[in-house]
Amino acid sequence: MSTTTKQPNLDLVNPELLQADATDIVRWAHKTFGDGLVLSTSFGMQAAVMLHLVTRVVPDIPVIFIDTGFHFLDTYKFADELTERLKLNLKVYQAKHSGAWTLARHGKLWEKDVEGLNQLDLIHKVEPMNRALEELGATATLAGLRRGQTEHRQNLPPVVLQRDRYKVHPILLWSTKDVHDYLTQHDLPYHPLREQGYTSIGDWHSTLPITAEQHEREGRFGGLKQECGLHLPETKEEDDSRFSSGL
């Protein structure tokens, strides 16, 4: 992994970035981490926001997409559409074995319990993501997490250090309306499954449409948890937050 020459003081940086707009946060991240900066996407419901926002500032930034092998067909079509339209420097990573092989070895992990879901995420999301970050020499990742999405995310600062890499959240303070306004302003699409009542898109086996009364993340993982494998808790505080919210 390449190393960054700058080690930001997060105690000083985070209060300042809480007052900055999303584009300025992306500029700060690019200035701070240079070629070590990457963007991750799942081509989910509102993926076009971060893809457009970031590539306007850093057009050639590596965009990591973890192909779990369980995405909706519409997700792959959506990925192709946005990749072509925004001229993404897309880097696709997959697990070392196919979803069919995982199914043969472990059965339908998504039907078991939270531990089964987490095991599936580790195989098909976490391992390939870690490999991607290592191979691309990433020192920092831009991610489109927002505080209003889950209990744990309500406590997130704009920049966090996880192990030896930074994670930067440019749209952390955005509301659902902010996202919608940005998509409308720039004539960007939602994921096509939005028209069928989906609000948060993951793998086909763990994503359901919701009603108007439900939170946007309640259609994920059969209600057993809200965080995907790429955002599993890494500290006791994160784990406490996960359990307090019933994830």
**In the block, residue with structure tokens 């076009």:** 48
User: Comparing C-alpha atoms, which of 96, 103, 87 is closest to residue 203?
Assistant: 103
Backbone φ, ψ for residue 96 (5° rounding): -65, -25
What residue spans of the chain are helical by DSSP H? 10-17, 22-33, 47-57, 73-86, 99-106, 114-121, 127-135, 176-185, 236-244
Q: 21 to each of 24, 55, 93, 208, how far by Cα in Å?
A: 5, 16, 31, 33
What letter would DSSP give residue 191? P
For residue 125, the surrounding DSSP H or E stretch is none
Which one of 138, 228, 230, 247 is the catalytic residue? 228
- In the residue annotation, 157 being an active-site residue is answered as no
Three-state SS for 95? coil
**Distance (Å, whole) CA 19 – CA 127:** 34
Q: 80 to each of 103, 139, 184, how far by Cα in Å?
A: 27, 27, 20
**In the block, residue with structure tokens 């190393």:** 3
Catalytic residues: 228
